[in-house]
């Protein structure tokens, strides 16, 4: 029942839902990213991290949807968005959402923004972002420069499909 799922998902997660997400492990419909663009190891902005978040976003659009939680690392530790905020023209949740939307427009396309809902929550006294991604109504391709890739979720990871496999997947997913 897609319509009910979509209506229910429209409502922002309650704090206990966030606790439940944080207690969960990464799975087919849940992915954690320590940050959108701040590389904690290199101690600087790293555009590859944005690409990684968009790759996951496209995979959720092309699969059954899911949640991308930004500000939590793979181990489930709260990193928060403060470092990301500090790199933005407008260092706030609003600036973060604007930047996320701009990166999405550049890499996947503005027409897919309606399938995403960003909400901000506090965890361990730090702010995190939950991006709810609904299944897309058509294939979402990821563009980086002149390259285009097609990604899907396979278990708890994101997989880029070669063209030969993407065509068959697309045909079976969007009849």
Q: What token pair was written down for 127?
A: 């702010």
Q: How many CB atoms lie within 10 A of CB 29?
A: 16
Q: What is the DSSP letter of 109?
A: -
pLDDT at 1: 36
Tokens 């396979």, located at residue: 154
Region 12-28 average pLDDT = 77
DSSP state letters, 145-168: TTEEEEEEEETTEEEEEPHHHHHH
| Residue at token pair 């990684």 | 52
3-class SS of residue 35: coil
Tell me what the mean pLDDT of segment 40-46 comes to. Answer: 96
pLDDT at residue 22, rounded to an integer = 84
pTM score, two decimals? 0.90
For residue 113, what is the DSSP state? G
- Structure confidence at residue 14 (pLDDT): 57
């Amino acid at each position: 029942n897609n319509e009910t799922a979509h209506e229910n998902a429209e409502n922002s997660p309650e704090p206990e839902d966030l606790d439940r997400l944080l207690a969960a492990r990464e799975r087919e419909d849940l992915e954690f990213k320590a940050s959108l663009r701040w590389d904690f190891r290199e101690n600087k902005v790293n555009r590859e991290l944005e690409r990684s978040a968009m790759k996951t976003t496209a995979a959720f659009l092309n699969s059954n949807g899911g949640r991308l939680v930004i500000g939590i690392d793979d181990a489930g530790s709260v990193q928060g968005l403060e470092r990301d905020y500090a790199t933005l023209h407008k260092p706030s949740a609003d600036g973060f959402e604007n930047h996320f939307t701009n990166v999405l427009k550049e890499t996947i396309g503005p027409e897919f923004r309606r399938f995403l809902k960003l909400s901000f929550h506090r965890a361990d006294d730090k702010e995190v972002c939950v991006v709810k991604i609904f299944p897309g109504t058509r294939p979402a391709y990821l563009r980086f420069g002149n390259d285009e890739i097609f990604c899907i979720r396979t278990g708890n990871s994101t997989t880029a499909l070669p063209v030969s496999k993407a065509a068959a997947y697309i045909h079976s997913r969007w009849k």
